[in-house]
Amino acid sequence: MDITIQKRKLGRSNLEVSAIGLGCMGMSFGYGTVADKNEMITLIRKAVESGVTFFDTAEVYGPFINEELVGEALTPFRGKVVIATKFGFDTTGTSALDSRPEHIKKVAEASLKRLRAEVIDLFYQHRVDPNVPIEDVAGAVKDLIKEGKVKHFGLSEAGVQIIRRAHSVQPVTALQSEYSLWWREPEEAIIPVLEELGIGFVAFSPLGKGFLTGKMDRNTKFDSKDFRSTVPRLSPENLKANLAFVDMLNLVALRKNATPAQVALAWLLTQKPWIVPIPGTTKLHRLSENLGALNVHLSSDELQEINTTSSNIKVHGERYSGGSAKLINR
């Protein structure tokens, strides 16, 4: 793989990671099937050999088995890679939120064991817990940082006020939220406050849960165990209407001798130098394709074309079903 993977710093922190990371959730969780463990260890290690230094997991993925997979795969590379994981759910079966300080500290201990690590590089609150003041959450992570069990504090899908309040107690290194050509809401209020406070942005679903790769068409059907079967904007009628996004990416990709996925990732990388997308995959050729986005350079005219065209395309359907679509506004 003839790609030089640049590094990026997450905000004003000293946390430096590869410009594209690897989201590991789908290897164990969310898509209806659990991928072969040995194949996934091979893929994760291939990512490291290719220059990826940033890996994303969470205790709730599985639960637990994704952290175990990532921990085993990355054991030979300790000190050379950054592993991010998350707390904030009750994993006893209720799927309720739980960010009580005593729970956060228990999760940290358990995650360290599963990751086979002495310290958690980046510890995110997975979702804002309305029952626990964010100051208490930030304070619990601050304690873990003082104890040497965590290096950096992160938030996921948090709104502006939560970010500000948390940052005032313990500096937030990164916010992880959905961001792509297909979901640009963070541009309105989130990205300006991250820039102001010096917080990095880790973009999940940078390829729209696979949609922006161009591999879905109007006949695409999802397994009932695949979470995308519940995503409104991927329902058959909405998916058909949303293909205009893929048509636009295809036009640019053809000119650039690239793929739609590479153009979508290249666009994201140009938005801010402290934004790091973490596309997930279970396939080696997709890993190579995603990293190839680093070789796709979009001119200012091409960026203008993408922005103008996409702003004129109406997105059909919410990004999640039910109340979770509103989480980012908290």
Q: Which residues share a beta bridge with 22?
A: 55
Structure tokens at 320: 């999640």
Residue 253 makes CB contacts below 8 A (sequence gap 6+) with 214, 259, 260, 262, 263
DSSP of 109-172: HHHHHHHT-SSEEEEEESS--TTS-HHHHHHHHHHHHHTTSEEEEEEES--HHHHHHHHHHS-E
Instruction: Please state, in angstroms and rounded to a whole number, the distance separating the CA atoms of residues 24 and 294.
Output: 20
Element at 41 (helix H, strand E): helix 37-49
Which residue in this structure is represented by tokens 């997979």?
Answer: 69
Asked if residue 144 lies in contact with residue 118, where contact means CB atoms within 8 angstroms, the answer is: no
- Burial, 230: exposed, middle or buried (Cβ in 10 Å; 0-12, 13-18, 19+)? middle
Cα 134–Cα 138–Cα 141 angle in degrees, nearest 5: 145
Per the residue annotation, which of 31, 61, 124, 179 is the catalytic one?
Answer: 61
In the residue annotation, 31 being an active-site residue is answered as no
- CA dist 328 and 159 (Å) reads 5
Cβ-based neighbours of 35, under 8 Å, separated by 6 or more: 26, 27, 28, 282
Distance of CA 221 to the CA centre of its chain: 24
Q: Tell me the catalytic residues.
A: 61
